[in-house]
Amino acid sequence: MKPQNRSLLLSFYLCLSVLLMLSGCSTLNKPEESTADALPTNIQPTEPEESALGAKLREHTGDYGNLWDEITEGYDFPEISDAKIDKNLRWLSNNQRYLDRVAEQSKPYLYYVANELRENGLPMELALLPIVESAYDPFASSPSKALGVWQFMPHTGRNFGLKQNHWYDGRRDIVASTDAAVRYLKRLNTMFDGDWLLTIAAYNAGEGTIRRAIQRNRKQGKGTDFWSLPLSQQTQSYVPQLLALSKVIADPEKYDLELAEIPNNPYFTTVNVSSPIDLAQAARMADINPKELRNLNAGYNKWITDPTGPHQLLVPVADAAQFTLSLDKLPKITPVQVAGDYKVKSGDTLGAIAKRFGTSVAAIQSANNLKNTQLKIGQSLSIPGQAPMDSPYAIQAEQEIAQRKQKNTGTYYTVASGDSFWTIARKNKTTVNNLLKWNELPANAKLKPGQKLLVLNKATEQKDGNKITYQIKSGDTLHKIANKFDVSKQDILSWNKVKNESYIHPGQELTIYLSAKN
């Protein structure tokens, strides 16, 4: 080949290479089709940009074997030092038993709650909020009628879609109530411009209370942060309790405490059921602790599932396979009559409506959250049907649960047909007033066969020198506990080395010394 031809050929290849390179660069720099463009034209993305915490939590790969480690990794509250937090830290550092108990009670629910918070990009300190609210007791209730681990009030629960009727209360359902709590906390946090301390205060006291307090302080030229607001003693103690607890959970050794590990995997799974079933009977056939199944499905008001739905049960993962097999062997419950809705007509009374549908006034009031018997023409009422609420399995299961609660807090007496408060008091060598007081019952209370009554008899009183251990329930106050056992508030504080009532927490155990008179 001639030199000039070789030169022309070389030039051709060089030009071709340049063109190919430019073509490749053009392909690399071409923007890919966006997700928004790929969506149907009638759907537009509306989610705000994900927060740094949300991105961090979503990137988490779940390498932690201990659930507490994952929770503390997702903390996002500001680091704060305050005398009220320190006071709670001192109390916690002297109450290993309290930490043990709330850790144990939270075990069935904590993984689910933490996972929901992480999926929604929320601070993981919020997984500890049910400890402050209820000690993770799904049956916790307050004098103001708040229920469940998240302690939803009836009205707030309905606002967030929690079904409440004769059969079922979503406020006690761990899945439904956690979903509602996540949505409520997100709404509150938006309302208070991302300030989590104001959010938590509003969760306790109500958003209206916090907004009014902020407005008052702003008019007076005062600070509008949580620590500056004139709030109730309860709310002023509530936020520091959560902050102190989060510090202890993050570093228990610093406070000379031990925190039992919780496996970082699901505790329960969902099993669908096609018809109403007896929970106690199903638990017995699947060899599951009836109390455990009842606690996981606390949304059901009785031992029978809601005939109107939800048609599902939460079952421990380890028992799910055996439980599913047992469902096919369960005898069918007699079809439950659910009368449905009824519109009030002129002349109707609750008594007449209850008689017509074969139910009771109390059942209709409970199903419709009625405070009295007054009705309005055109009002829609949900009429509950009748069902075998107290099967022999359920009664036996209740007895087993009561026996597990006995420990050294007292004994439980099962009411038999024909019993009265006077006969029970005589059998147990105590007084009617004591029975009413110990069980927080009014003077006109009625007894039902199978009902459990707490009895602090002589044998119990004399055990450990007349000492008993009382576990604080949600809604308890020091005054209420003192009256219950006929002792003084100051004595209770002294016996338990507690400085004042602000140190009292649901789930905490108190030592109480009974005198001969009680």
Q: What are the catalytic residues?
A: 133
At residue 414, what is the residue type?
Answer: T
- Those residues whose C-beta lies under 8 Å from the C-beta of residue 213, and which sit 6 or more positions away, are 229, 230, 231
Question: Positive or negative, the Cα torsion across 72, 74, 79, 83?
Answer: negative
Query: What is the distance between the alpha carbons of residues 167 and 363, in angstroms, rounded to a whole number?
Result: 10
- Taking CA 482 as the corner, what is the angle to CA 133 and CA 201, rounded to the nearest 5 degrees? 25
Q: Is 466 left (phi over 0), alpha (psi -120 to 50) or beta?
A: left
Query: What is the distance between the alpha carbons of residues 200 and 225, in angstroms, rounded to a whole number?
Result: 12
Secondary structure string (H, E, C) spanning 433-485: HHHHHHCCCCCCCCCCCCCEEEECCHHHHHCCCCEEEEECCCCCCHHHHHHHH
Name the phi and psi angles at 414, rounded to 5. -90, 120
Residue 503 to residues 88, 237, 253, 269, 473, Cα–Cα distance (Å):
7, 9, 21, 36, 14
Instruction: Tell how strand 452-455 and strand 411-414 pair up.
Output: antiparallel
- For 280, half-sphere exposure in the C-beta direction (CA atoms, 13 angstrom radius) is 17
Q: Which strand (E) or helix (H) includes residue 72?
A: helix 67-73
- Token readout for 151 is 């302690």
SS3 427: helix
Cβ(339)–Cβ(307) under 8 Å? no
Q: Which residue has the tokens 């966006």?
A: 34
Which residue in 106, 119, 9 sits closest to 60, CA to CA? 119
- Token readout for 223 is 């600070």
Cβ(473)–Cβ(427) under 8 Å? no
- Those residues whose C-beta lies under 8 Å from the C-beta of residue 283, and which sit 6 or more positions away, are 289, 290, 292, 293, 294, 397
User: CB neighbours (10 Å) of residue 105?
Assistant: 21
Instruction: Tell how strand 380-383 and strand 411-414 pair up.
Output: unpaired
Distance of CA 18 to the CA centre of its chain: 67
Query: What is the distance between the alpha carbons of residues 342 and 349, in angstroms, rounded to a whole number?
Result: 12
At residue 330, what is the residue type?
Answer: L
